Amino acid sequence: MKALFGLLVMLAAVSHGMETPCDATLDGTRCYGTLGGTVFLQLIHVVSGVPDISLKTESNDAAKIILKIRNKHPKIVKIHKSIETRAHFFINNGTFRIDNTERNDSAEYRLDTFNADGETLGTRKLQLFIEAPVSSPQLSSQYLTHGEMRVSCSSEGDGPQYSWTLDGHPLRDTKASPGDKTNTITLKKGQSGDLTCTVKNNINSVTTSERISPCEEIIGMVAASLAGVVLVLVMVLAVYCVQKKKKPPKTSVHVDSQDVEYANVRTLKKQMRLQERKVEYRQVKITGAPQQPLEVFGQNKTLEGPRWKVGTPEEGDCVYARVRKGQ
């Protein structure tokens, strides 16, 4: 919906103010008007006054009188109600103007002229076509096998017709039927230059151009770009690997920059409680051995004979310790 609305706005902007004249004084004249624009239909050449005129539609539907003029006094100019707010007839030059043209204005018309006595002077037919103008074309290309290039030209509007030139020389699609004007063209291997697409219809004509390079050159540029990207990625990966190797190993955590000793001590029967203890110093005599004082911390034992035991844990008391000294 947004795209359609944008297209209608664009076409309205293009057609706004476009005026199309047409000499309809000859029988069988084909006239074209811009959708949303203004069309001037020259119905008669004024020489010695305007005769009576009747302009009506010729179609399968019921005919309706669009314009009726009686040049007798008083003069009467009557325009059909479906068009009266956007149409006007100029008696001084015999021109019928239609503003803000609509597609319903497209029709085959019959024009009858009469003299002052009501006798028929002549009958003519004319066809009026209201069309949307073509928009500025857009080019798109596709690379095919064997180095060929397919170029498309797209445009909006009624009845667009396409023509191509390469460096000013006419081109046609070799795969199209003879005389067929298409919106695509196939360039052979090695063809390059300024490619121009021209789009036209009965209302207007627009042109766009683009510089075309050979497929080999484009492919080479793309390959070179990809090679450059790969090279950059390899260099980044190499730098990353070198920096990773140079990174020093992780060291143990130091607290207050001092050596830390820690121990995990567990007994099977008793859980030692950490508390401040007073250390008592006593002298112990050993029986059966030379008398010499022995200092024991926190224990009073009498040692006899050559065998003596000082404050060793009971047989079931096992002490587990793990000590590590920090760096």
For position 7, what pLDDT does the model report?
A: 39
Number of folded domains in the chain? 2
pTM above 0.75, yes or no: no
Question: What whole-number distance in Å separates Cα of residue 80 and Cα of residue 109?
Answer: 14
Whether 207 is covered by a domain: the verdict is yes
Same-domain check for residues 103 and 22: yes
Same-domain check for residues 144 and 69: no
For position 281, what pLDDT does the model report?
A: 45
Question: What whole-number distance in Å separates Cα of residue 82 and Cα of residue 105?
Answer: 10
Cα-flanking dihedrals φ and ψ of residue 222, to 5°? -65, -45
110 strand-pairing partners: 56, 125
Question: What whole-number distance in Å separates Cα of residue 13 and Cα of residue 75?
Answer: 38
Domain stops at, among 181, 214, 247: 214
For position 214, what pLDDT does the model report?
A: 74
Question: What whole-number distance in Å separates Cα of residue 109 and Cα of residue 63?
Answer: 9
Whether 285 is covered by a domain: the verdict is no
Same-domain check for residues 18 and 103: yes
Contact in structure between 142 and 149 (CB atoms under 8 Å): yes
Domain stops at, among 214, 244, 268: 214
Domain stops at, among 110, 131, 152: 131
Whether 199 is covered by a domain: the verdict is yes
Q: What is the pLDDT along the chain (327 residues), one digit of tens a residue?
A: 333 333 333 343 344 458 999 999 999 999 999 999 999 999 998 876 778 999 999 865 667 899 999 887 778 899 999 999 999 999 889 999 999 999 999 999 999 999 888 889 999 999 999 999 999 999 999 988 888 999 999 999 999 999 999 999 998 765 555 555 679 999 988 889 999 999 999 999 999 999 988 755 555 555 567 777 778 887 888 787 877 776 665 555 444 444 444 444 444 344 444 444 444 444 445 445 455 454 444 444 444 444 444 444 444 444 444 445 544
- Enter the DSSP assignment of 81: T
Same-domain check for residues 89 and 114: yes
For position 180, what pLDDT does the model report?
A: 55
Same-domain check for residues 92 and 169: no
CATH code, domain with 65: 2.60.40.10
Same-domain check for residues 86 and 160: no
Contact in structure between 153 and 137 (CB atoms under 8 Å): yes
Other Cβ atoms closer than 10 A to 205: 14
Same-domain check for residues 51 and 126: yes
Same-domain check for residues 35 and 118: yes
Domain housing 170: 138-214
Same-domain check for residues 125 and 41: yes
Enumerate long-range contacts of 169-177, CB under 8 Å, 24 or more apart. Answer: 171/195
